[in-house]
Amino acid sequence: MSLLHTDGLTKEFGGLVAVDDVTFEVESGETRAVIGPNGAGKSTLINCITGALEPTAGSVEFDGEDITNLEPHETVQAGISKSFQTASIFPEMTVRQNVEIAALAAEHGSFQVNFLKRLAGFDAVHDTADRMLEAVDLLGDADVEAASLPYGDKRRLEIAIALASEPDLLLMDEPTAGMSPDETAETVDLVEELQEDLGLTILIVEHDMEIIFRIADRILVLNRGQVIADGTPEEVQQSEQVQEAYLGG
Ligand code: ADP
Ligand code: MG
């Protein structure tokens, strides 16, 4: 049985069909990629899975449960987490406190930030936070202010924040955007390590084809909201429709 499965998932914005009848599945333990030109509907697809957007039609099943109309905090509790959400870091708090807050938020099912800020530092989530900081190689910086981290380390902290809920499925939407080549290489290594060390299943949107072909087990290709290919990197590379979509044919 697959871990995640969408059936006919569709999202319309006014007259625009951003995600058009998308059926695909993610197997437990795999690195699953979604690629496609700008505006293809990749982020919208991810946001329909997390509950950030309500699908117009179709369904999402996760771990055998229908999660189609759950709220974002409910999909987190179900075991899905997304990194690189906007403004997820509290700059004035320490690196460790940021991860502790995220762990508490996941546990309490909400983001009552002021309340959680008072709780942060409680022993209950200290170990979880340190485990996740270790997984992203930031444990040495646990006590520094988050604001002082260099850009690449901030993105690692965002991953640790996403991991704080101890998800089964980690969603990543263009994790290397804005990174230097060195930071990009480090992030790719990190994604591979996380999967091995934490037994994570990863669904990743990434524009860098070299990265995708290196790390993905299977690739879903979207164009104008529709699935135009789905298979192993080799299968997808050979698809005529994919070549047309990318070469503008
Ligand atoms: P991608 O992530 O593949 O670049 P998106 O999912 O962001 O594509 O967008 C798919 C299409 O949906 C685009 O045409 C985009 O302009 C449109 N779109 C995305 N979000 C919204 C929104 N909130 N309201 C209206 N249109 C949107
Ligand atoms: Mg996008």
Q: 119 C-alpha vs ligand 2 centroid, how far in Å?
A: 34
pTM of the model: 0.91
Give how far Cα 82 sits from Cα of 12, 75, 135, 145, 204, Å. 22, 10, 16, 23, 10
| Ligand 1 in reach of 36 Cβ (< 6 A) | yes
| Ligand 1 in reach of 176 Cβ (< 6 A) | no
- Look up the ipTM and state it: 0.99
Q: 155 C-alpha vs ligand 2 centroid, how far in Å?
A: 17
Q: 1 C-alpha vs ligand 1 centroid, how far in Å?
A: 31
User: What sign does the dihedral 51-99-201-193 (CA atoms) show?
Assistant: positive
End-to-end C-alpha distance for the chain, whole angstroms: 37
Residuewise pLDDT in 10s, the chain (249 residues)? 799 999 999 999 999 999 999 999 999 999 999 999 999 999 999 999 999 999 999 999 999 999 999 999 899 999 999 986 555 789 999 999 999 988 888 887 665 666 666 665 567 788 999 999 999 999 999 999 999 999 888 888 999 999 999 999 999 999 888 888 888 888 889 888 888 888 899 999 988 888 898 899 999 999 999 999 999 999 998 998 888 887 665
Q: 224 C-alpha vs ligand 1 centroid, how far in Å?
A: 10
* Lookup: tokens for 218: 């299977």
Q: Which of 11, 12, 13, 50 to mutate to test the pocket of ligand 1 (most atoms within 8 A of CB)?
A: 13
| Ligand 1 in reach of 226 Cβ (< 6 A) | no
Is residue 95 within 8 A of residue 143, CB to CB? The reply is yes
Nearest CA to ligand 1 atom 15: 39
DSSP state of 239: -
| Ligand 1 in reach of 35 Cβ (< 6 A) | no
| Ligand 1 in reach of 37 Cβ (< 6 A) | no
Nearest CA to ligand 1 atom 17: 18
